[in-house]
Structure 1
Amino acid sequence: MADLPYSLTELRASRSGAHRDRTLGVAVVGAGYWGPNLARNFHRSEQWDLRAVCDLDLDRADGLAGQYGAKAFGSLDEALDTVEIDAVAIATPARTHHSVALTALGAGKHVLVEKPLADRWDKGADMVSVADAKGLVLMADHTYCYTPAVQKMRELLHEGELGDILYIDSVRINLGLVQPDVDVFWDLAPHDLSILEYVLPGGLTPEAVSAHGADPLGTGHDCVGHLSFDLPFGGMAHIHVNWLSPTKIRQMVIGGTRRTLVWDDLNPQQRLSVYDRGIQLPTNGGRGSRNGADRRDAAISYRLGDTWSPALPEREALGQMVEEFAAAIRGERASATSGMSALRVLGILEATTRSLTTGGAQAPMGGAPAASAYARQIVDQDMEQEEGALKQEAGA
Structure 2
Amino acid sequence: MLAHVPTLFMVIMALSATLALSVGIAARTQLREGMAYWALGLFAHTLAYLLFALRGQVSDWLSVVLGNLLLSVVFALFAEGVFQFQRRRPPRWLLWTPCGVVVVLFAALLPWYLARVVVGALIYVFQSLVVVLAVLQKRKETAGVGQYFLVTGFLVLVALTLLQGVGVVLHRDQITSVLSAHWLPGLVFLTSALCTVVVSVGLILMGKERADERNRTLAMRDALTGLVNRRSLLEALTQQMAHARRHGQPLALLMIDIDYFKRVNDSHGHLSGDKVLKTVAGVIAARTRAQDLPGRLGGEEFLVILPGTTLQGALQLAETLRQEIEHTGFCSVSGEVIALTISLGVCAQDQLVAPLCDDMINAADQALYLAKNNGRNRVGVFAPISLA
Q: Would you call these one fold, judging by a TM-score over 0.5?
A: no
TM-score interval, normalised by the smaller of the two chains: under 0.3
TM-score calculated relative to the size of structure 2 = 0.19
Which structure is richer in relative contact order (CA contacts within 8 A, separation 6 or more)? Answer: 1
More strand by share: 1
TM-score calculated relative to the size of structure 1 = 0.19
More helix by share: 2
